[in-house]
Structure 1
Amino acid sequence: MPSNGIMTIAEPASESVCVELISNPVTSGFASAAAVIIACSQLKSLLGLKDIHGERLIEILQGVAEKLHATNFYDLGMGITAILLLTALKSAKDVNLGRCIKDAKVLKITEKIVWVVSTARNVLIVVLCGLVAVHVNNARGEKLFTLTSTVKSGIPNPAFPPFSIEDSFQNDSLTGETNFVKGQSYFEILSDAGSAIVIIPLLGILELIAICKTFAKGKPVDANQEMIALGMCQIAGAFFQSMPITGSFSRCAVNGASGVKTPLGGLYTGVIVLLALGFLTPYFEFIPRAALAAIIVCAVIYMIEIEEAIHVWRTKKIDLVPMLSTFFACLVIGIEIGILIGVAVNASMIILFSALPKVSVTKSTLQDETAVIFLTPDRAIHFLAVEKVRNLFSKTIFKNKDAVVVLDFQHVIDLDFTAAKGFVSLSQGMKERKQNLVFVNVNCDVEKTLHGLQANMEIYQSAADWISQTAFTTAKVAATLAVGENGGITLEDLEAKLCQGSNGNNAIAIPMDAEKHNQV
């Protein structure tokens, strides 16, 4: 119960932010790595090996390599045969039977039979392999095929979950030794858990959301709904001695491979599991492990998203960084920590993007030889980018000491306190040098931030405001702006050029006559 309680309490705090934390490349990397790990974890059952433990890929492969000499070739043969049959049955429903069967009625019946067999292939393979294994084992008088161990019938009686651990003796499944386990109160359990109180539910939720997004196929995922369902399952499970649960990648993959399309499949699965625990557990011991392993391998192998990686390569290669980081981290360290690393890498890339803005520099000259420098940042400016932007502006302004400097903020949708102080400092420095600095196309939020520092700066919400309200424009631009040897343009034409944006009145389009447009 303590672990279930931790999961239940912490889940609502995460809310839907988990969805935004996990991008498609991270999801693809996680899904591909999980598919590889799950497929490799089934090697021990396919090869008939025992006592192989580990969750990381290296541990699994190392354990298989150490015991490869003990391979059960009966299990291996059944596993390979089951994989081939499952693959063939999966492809059967895509075969065009119309080429062979001309009778429409016969064709319809045949297609329906093939569809049913293809959809129910997992059940058919389990039953077929079970019959073969039982027959061969009984005929030879020995267990040539490794079968599933005995499963205890029924479910625990519902009872109020305990909030403490009593003193007890427990057997170590690996060494066979009996160890004394000292009891703990609920608060002692929480104290020992430490940071796990936060980490356990966070990892569980991230894994759940990643699985949801993997199987959602691009459809929206309601994180709140998923976490409410998960929390309710934790509460209900606590009354039946359940372990803490989260999304199951392998079971979701098997469901998907079996044709499950809606959440009703979960209800159906739950009912079948309860009925099976009540009435079918005596027959579970006849199911070959190799057959179950083959079903899981065939389900997850198609989750390796090679095609998605190709699409990312063709569209934006930089997004391969979080995808591959997640993939290899999940393989080497583990899927729980791997997905956290993927999220961290993705967040770092976003931070790096905000720290490296580009600024276009455009210079124009009026007929009276007065220079005007237009500086246009291409994104929001935050504290990480302040020094870079200020240095660029300072160098440009220093090279054009007599020019009027116009900062076009049409792309600057946000400005933090540090950046605002930087621009105030820049404005004050220019005033001391008797040089004009003008802010145009400033949105309301950015303007409020700049005015909050109570600095006297020329700030305009549009280029039209600057043109109509400044004496500089009236006296000099009203004449003409030099755009070539053929003469200038009128004030009305200039205003039209400076005020063409997405809404028709904000973006600034600067004539580039004296110097070409540069990206810095």
Structure 2
Amino acid sequence: MGNADHSYDPSFNDNYYGSANHRVEIPPPQPFVKSIKNTLKETFFPDDPLRQFKNQPPRKKLVLGFQYIFPILEWGPRYTLEFLKADLIAGITIASLAIPQGISYAKLANLPPILGLYSSFVPPLVYAVMGSSRDLAVGTVAVGSLLTGSMLSEVVSPTDDPKLYLHLAFTATFFAGLFEASLGIFRLGFIVDFLSHATIVGFMGGAATVVCLQQLKGILGLDHFTHATDIISVMRSVFTQTHSWRWESAVLGCVFLFYLLLSRYFSKMKPKLFWVSAMAPLTSVVLGSLLVYFTHAEKHGVQVIGDLKKGINPASLMDLNFDSRYLTGTIKTGIVTGIIALAEGIAVGRSFAMFKNYHIDGNKEMIAFGMMNIAGSCTSCYLTAGPFSRSAVNFNAGCKTAVSNLVMAFAVMITLLFLTPLFYYTPLVVLSSIIVAAMLGLIDYEAAIHLWHVDKFDFLVCMSAYIGVVFANIEIGLGLAIGLSIMRVLLFVARPKTLVLGNLPDSKVYRSVDQYQNATNVPGVLILEIDSPIYFANSNYLRERISRWINDEEDKLKSSGETVLQYVVLDMSAVGNIDTSGISMLDEVKKTADRRGLKLALVNPGAEVMKKLNKSNFLEKIGQEWIFLTVGEAVGACNYMLHSCNIESQKHSNNIV
């Protein structure tokens, strides 16, 4: 196509754009072992947790090591009486919420209600010692309870064999803790990052909807109910038992649900009165129990909790069941519930840490979550995490440190030792109302609307998770959303953006001609920006896309009668890495350009890219003088060559004349 002499004099670049030491340089070679070490360090230790141990004497390293594993040793010596006053108030406040929520969520997991109280005693003690968040309040969570109940019910029926079901719940909790702790120890927390914000919004909304539907059993006073979680099965179970509906239970449930929602609305309107909403669940339990006791409503269709065993957590280490018949189901339950618990707990902890301007270590949180669930599985607890509702109350109550969890655990211990008989007359319908009120706050329709306005694909992921959970089951909904998110990541890698750049008027700045309408093309020069690392997954696509850009540009210039295309400039500023397939792609692009009489130039390849291009001898093929630091320098060199060719052409014409 072009017949210009492309032998470029690099001294022009030195004189016009700066000295030679401003060109793109090849980084010095590194030993293979050191290169691998740096890569692994950046992948698994981006926060460099060992930096505090550098240049420290052995005794100091030992102290720092214990403080790293047990953060309470780091902030404990600085604890003050003022902190204790604040933590006492916060701990008592969250205990008033933890007690009714714990009993309610245990029923949601098809477990004895007393396990909800057990799970609010031991795990908070462990987290207070090992956790790095000042605001996270530990306890059972609704979504985790629902997951435990629905997934374990597929392994064994909680009604047919409640003892085996209980032991499998402890075992699933053990595997959840083991999985969480392993993620933290081996620095694999990035796995949780595959749960995108859109996935969590949709999944939480779907799970909350399913939980609300499940509570129709308690609100309507039904004795038999489906173990399935999808909306069709639940509605079928509800409307095929219309003859069993209890109007007394329904009225009581609606009254307490209205009271709970009203107290939440009142607390939102006046944030200083947050304690009204925090105390509402316990108040509902007390009022409901008194109402049943004085009216004998338990004899008229209102179901009650019944006897709760007094005493603190019994050991359950010997109850862990590793029978091969159930092992697959318990491991799967543990991993799924562990991931969800981590995603919610770490997200909640980071949110409140941001408000108070401090940092929490995600990997340390995973270890803390893992250890508290392992300890819990050995002390008659099931899955615990950091629920948003309880943590929000803890934050609003003015907690200063994790001591608020210790206060809550102490309050639960007092309840277990002395107060459990008082819950005998607590109506199940009140517990259902508490769960429904808590779940309605997890259906974040405003976030879904925001996703629709900002990113339609994220909205699709969100709705896929929601619809999958509500109309199929929790595992399908979660798997569908994660699958779509991973597919999007793969699409970003396999189909990276390639942009045509143009010059902004009166500047040396080059930007996308699609984004900046006043950007103009440089005559005879096609400038392309590659917006991704070049790997085997996208190398073929990029080769074809660059060829199409060249064809389109040549056709456009031919139809307009302008200067023919002579130079192709690839801006590689965003190309952080390249593999052998990518190098082969560049080699093929150069050969294509040579066949068409075009000259290929590269702009600002990264250090890793330059290193590999040099080792593959590609730099010799293209010529190091055709690798530039900026697009402006590359265009300047192309214009210089075009100008030189025009002068030579004019001289040649004059000689002929």
In the superposition, the TM-score normalised over structure 2's length comes to 0.58
What are the superposed Cα offsets for residues 173-229 of structure 1, whole Å, 9 maximum, x if unpaired? Answer: xxxxxxxxxxxxx5xx368635964x4443123211332256458456643233222
Q: Offset at 1:144?
A: 4.0
Cα distance between partner residues in 1 of 2:312 and 2:249:
31
Does residue 70 in structure 1 map to residue 244 in structure 2? yes
8 Å CA contact retained: 1:16, 1:222:
no
Match of 2:480, SS?
A: helix
Question: In the TM superposition, what are the counterparts of 1:248-327 in structure 2 within 5 Å?
Answer: 252-253=388-389, 256=392, 266-327=405-466
Does residue 357 in structure 1 map to residue 496 in structure 2? yes
Does residue 206 in structure 1 map to residue 339 in structure 2? yes
Q: Offset at 1:93?
A: 4.4
* Number of residue pairs aligned between Structure 1 and Structure 2: 432
Does residue 424 in structure 1 map to residue 587 in structure 2? yes
Q: Offset at 1:468?
A: 11
Residue in 2 that maps onto 1:347: 486
Cα distance between partner residues in 2 of 1:239 and 1:196:
15
Cα distance between partner residues in 2 of 1:468 and 1:370:
10
2:200 corresponds, among 24, 27, 31, to: 27
Cα distance between partner residues in 1 of 2:636 and 2:447:
54
Q: Offset at 1:474?
A: 5.1
Residue in 1 that maps onto 2:318: 162
> Which one scores higher on RCO, CA 8 angstroms, separation ≥ 6?
2
8 Å CA contact retained: 1:254, 1:299:
no
Cα distance between partner residues in 2 of 1:413 and 1:128:
63
What are the superposed Cα offsets for residues 373-400 of structure 1, whole Å, 9 maximum, x if unpaired? Answer: 2222233333333222212322444574
Q: Offset at 1:264?
A: 5.0
8 Å CA contact retained: 1:30, 1:210:
no
Q: In the superposition, relative to structure 1, how do residues 435 and 416 fare at CA in structure 2: closer, same or farther (>3 Å)?
A: same
8 Å CA contact retained: 2:174, 2:334:
no
Question: In the TM superposition, what are the counterparts of 1:121-160 in structure 2 within 5 Å?
Answer: 121-137=280-296, 142-155=299-312, 157-158=314-315
Residue in 1 that maps onto 2:629: 462
Cα distance between partner residues in 1 of 2:210 and 2:369:
24
Alignment gaps of 5+ in structure 2: 1-169, 355-359, 504-521, 555-563, 648-657
Match of 2:441, SS?
A: helix
Residue in 2 that maps onto 1:387: 540
Alignment gaps of 5+ in structure 1: 97-110, 166-185, 482-520
What are the superposed Cα offsets for residues 254-273 of structure 1, whole Å, 9 maximum, x if unpaired? Answer: 66479667555544443333
Cα distance between partner residues in 2 of 1:89 and 1:396:
62
Does residue 444 in structure 1 map to residue 607 in structure 2? yes
Q: In the superposition, relative to structure 1, how do residues 208 and 428 fare at CA in structure 2: closer, same or farther (>3 Å)?
A: same
What are the superposed Cα offsets for residues 444-502 of structure 1, whole Å, 9 maximum, x if unpaired? Answer: 222223333223224524147965997x6655457999xxxxxxxxxxxxxxxxxxxxx
Cα distance between partner residues in 2 of 1:195 and 1:121:
37
Match of 2:299, SS?
A: coil
Q: Offset at 1:282?
A: 1.6
Residue in 2 that maps onto 1:80: 254
Does residue 7 in structure 1 map to residue 176 in structure 2? yes
Q: In the superposition, relative to structure 1, how do residues 436 and 142 fare at CA in structure 2: closer, same or farther (>3 Å)?
A: closer
1:371 corresponds, among 521, 524, 531, to: 524
Q: Offset at 1:439?
A: 1.3
Does 430-439 or 443-452 show the bigger shift? Answer: 430-439
8 Å CA contact retained: 2:288, 2:430:
yes
Cα distance between partner residues in 2 of 1:408 and 1:344:
33
1:16 corresponds, among 186, 189, 198, to: 189
Tell me how large the CA RMSD over aligned residues is. Answer: 3.7
Q: Offset at 1:338?
A: 2.7
Q: In the superposition, relative to structure 1, how do residues 246 and 21 fare at CA in structure 2: closer, same or farther (>3 Å)?
A: farther
Match of 1:375, SS?
A: strand
Match of 2:538, SS?
A: helix
Q: In the superposition, relative to structure 1, how do residues 416 and 190 fare at CA in structure 2: closer, same or farther (>3 Å)?
A: farther
Residue in 1 that maps onto 2:30: none
Q: In the superposition, relative to structure 1, how do residues 328 and 267 fare at CA in structure 2: closer, same or farther (>3 Å)?
A: farther
